[in-house]
Amino acid sequence: PDIRSGYAPELARGAGDEAANNKHSIIVCSTDDSFIKADFHTNRLIEHCVGGVIFVPTAAPDEKNHLLLERFTRRNIPVVLADRAISDVEVDFVTTDNFQGAYELTKYLILKGHKKIAILVSTLFTTEKQRLEGYKQALSDYGIPLEPSLVFAKPEPYLEKAYLEYVRAILTHKDKFTAIFAGHDRIAYLFYSVANQMGISIPDDVSIVGYDDLAYTNSYSVTLTTMSQPIYAMGEESMKLIMSRIRGDRAAPQKIVLKSSLVQRSSVLPLNKTNLPFINIDSER
């Protein structure tokens, strides 16, 4: 991903701090989700004889990400996948439960009285695919029919210019929904920006939830209700697995799924007469 924005800086910081605790240093490579850039960095890392790699898969198909992975494993360089999955690979993997996180966010909106909930996500990555499925399952479990016209699933990575246009088009039809599930916080803040330009009030005219709980979440007058991912811990745990492999651990690959938590702020307007109880992500469906 882009090391300048989103969750990547926090992930890198967690990995870097854990590496320093073990007297190691890290090399940070920003791929911008591009296979070409990842391919270049793969060559450089191999040339530098790195001890291990924490790899966030690119926007390329699994087959291409698999090729990058194999180039490390053939040289006995341990690899940990962070955040996003690749199908049919046997390596260590650290992530969060994106399905359950999205389920809880959607359930939260439903319990606040919202039944017309739009969603904007990318379907390129396993994380957002799982969020889309969690959204659909929550609607189903609460007896709310899925409306395809409210599902905006884009088969492309997040690019601000393109997503600004998607956001503008969605808000043009704000009479069709009362709430929006943004696939991650950066998308949510595009809705904030465009809504302000269009004279649409959040949350009075439309409610919004995000995903990630990025550091600048509280910098807006209307603070964002979002799913807080333990991104720093994801970096830490990924590096702990790398250090274990460097020290000779040959156990079967591990999958670590960290818990996220719903953070209730001020971007959701209750539509029901009574304020129903706050639902934590750890509660059972």
Which domains does the chain possess?
8-96+230-259 (3.40.50.2300), 98-228 (3.40.50.2300)
Closest C-alpha among 12, 31, 32 to residue 159:
32
pLDDT value at residue 273: 64
Contact 3, 12 (CB under 8 A): yes
Coil, helix or strand at residue 269: coil
> For 75, phi and psi rounded to 5 degrees?
-100, 15
Check residue 220 and give its pLDDT: 78
pTM score, whole prediction? 0.92
Report the amino acid identity of residue 62. Answer: D
pLDDT, position 217: 55
pLDDT at 1: 82
Burial state string for 65-80 with b = 16 or more CB within 10 A and e = fewer than 16:
bbebbebbeeeebbbb
Q: Which amino acid is at 218?
A: N
Q: Going by C-beta distance under 8 Å and a sequence separation of 6 or more, which residues neighbour residue 197?
A: none
User: In this predicted structure, what is the pLDDT of residue 218?
Assistant: 60
* Number of neighbouring beta carbons within 10 Å of residue 279: 15
pLDDT computed for residue 283 by the predictor: 40
Q: Which helix (H) or strand (E) holds 26?
A: none
Instruction: List the chain pLDDT tens, one digit each, 285 residues.
Output: 888 888 999 999 999 999 999 999 999 999 999 999 999 999 999 999 999 999 999 999 999 999 999 999 999 999 999 999 999 999 999 999 999 999 999 999 999 999 999 999 999 999 999 999 999 999 999 999 999 999 999 999 999 999 999 999 999 999 999 999 999 999 999 999 999 999 999 999 999 999 999 976 566 789 999 999 999 999 999 999 999 999 999 999 999 999 999 999 999 999 986 544 444 444 443
* ω into 155 cis (within 30 of 0): no
Pairwise CA distance, residues 108 & 211, whole Å? 13
* Nearest CA-CA partner of 125 in 79, 186, 184: 184
